[in-house]
Amino acid sequence: MKVTIVGAGAVGASCAEYVAIKNFASEVVLLDIKEGYAEGKAMDLMQTATLNGFDTKITGSTNDYSKTADSDIAVITSGIPRKPGMTREELIGINAGIVKEVSSNLIKHSPNVTLIVVSNPMDTMTYLVHKTTGLPKNKIIGMGGALDSARFKYRLSEALECPPSDVDGMVIGGHSDTGMVPLTRLATRNSVPVTAFLSEDRLNQVSEDTKVGGATLTKLLGTSAWYAPGAAVSGLVQAIACDQKKMFPCSALLDGEYGLSDLCIGVPAILGKDGLEKIVELQLDDAEKAKMKESAEGVKKTNGLLDV
Ligand X SMILES: O=C([O-])CC(=O)C(=O)O
Ligand Y SMILES: NC(=O)C1=CN([C@@H]2O[C@H](COP(=O)(O)OP(=O)(O)OC[C@H]3O[C@@H](n4cnc5c(N)ncnc54)[C@H](O)[C@@H]3O)[C@@H](O)[C@H]2O)C=CC1
45 binds ligand Y (CB under 6 A): no
| Residue 193, preceding peptide bond in cis (omega within 30° of 0) | no
- Smallest CA-to-CA distance from 252 within 299, 183, 220, 218 is with 299
Contact 129/101 with Cβ under 8 angstroms? no
Residues involved in catalysis: 175
- DSSP-assigned states of every residue in 180-196: EEE-GGG-EETTEEGGG
Best CA proximity match to 5, nearest among 41, 23, 32: 32
Is 120 marked as a binding-site residue? yes
157 is in an annotated binding site: no
Query: Choosing among ligand Y, ligand X, none, which partner's interface includes residue 33 (Cβ < 5 to 8 Å by kind)?
Result: ligand Y
Instruction: Give the CB-nearest residue to ligand Y.
Output: 9
Any contact of residue 75 with ligand X (CB under 6 A)? Answer: no
121-150: which residues touch ligand Y (CB under 6 A)?
A: 122, 143-144, 147
User: For residues 12 and 173, which CB has a smaller minimum distance to ligand Y in the complex?
Assistant: 12
Q: Report the relative pairing of strands 275-279 and 261-272 from DSSP bridges.
A: antiparallel
- Tell me: is residue 88 an annotated ligand-binding position: yes
Q: Is 95 annotated as a binding residue?
A: yes
Which amino acid is located at 120 in the chain?
Answer: N
Beta strands in the chain (DSSP E): 2-6, 27-32, 57-62, 73-76, 114-117, 140-142, 167-168, 171-173, 180-182, 188-189, 192-193, 246-255, 261-272, 275-279
By beta-carbon proximity to ligand X, the closer residue of 58 and 252 is 252
Overall size of the chain counted in residues: 308
Task: Tell me, by CB under 6 A, how many residues bind ligand X.
Answer: 11
Residue 32, annotated as binding a ligand: yes
Contact track, ligand X, 136-155, x by CB under 6 A = -----------x--------
Provide, rounded to whole angstroms, the least separation between the CB of residue 140 and ligand X.
18
Report the nearest approach of ligand X to the CB of residue 236 (Å): 14
Stretch 205-224 residues interacting with ligand X (CB under 6 A): 214-215, 218, 224
Please identify, using beta-carbon distances, which residue of 56 and 224 lies nearer to ligand X.
224
Q: Is 231 annotated as belonging to a binding site? A: no
- Considering only residues 92-111, where is the footprint of ligand Y by CB under 6 A? 95, 98, 101-102
Residue 8 marked as a ligand binder: yes
Pairing of strands 73-76, 2-6: parallel
Say which residues have a Cβ less than 8 Å from residue 56's Cβ, sequence separation at least 6.
19, 20, 23, 25, 26, 27, 28, 49
Out of 3, 20, 74, 91, point to the residue binding ligand Y (CB under 6 A): 91
**Beta carbon nearer to ligand X, 9 or 60:** 9
Is there a contact between 306 and 124 (Cβ–Cβ < 8 Å)?
A: yes
Q: Nearer Cβ to ligand Y, position 157 or 176?
A: 176
CB 80 within 8 A of CB 8: no
Interface with ligand X includes 82 (CB under 6 A)? yes
Report how many helices (DSSP H) and strands (DSSP E) the chain contains, helices first.
10, 14
* Binding residues vs ligand X (CB under 6 A): 81-82, 88, 120, 147, 214-215, 218, 224-225, 229
Residues at the annotated binding site?
7-12, 32, 82, 88, 95, 118-120, 151
Which residues of this protein are in contact with ligand Y, per CB under 6 A?
Answer: 6-12, 32-34, 37, 77-82, 91, 95, 98, 101-102, 118-120, 122, 143-144, 147, 175, 223-226, 229
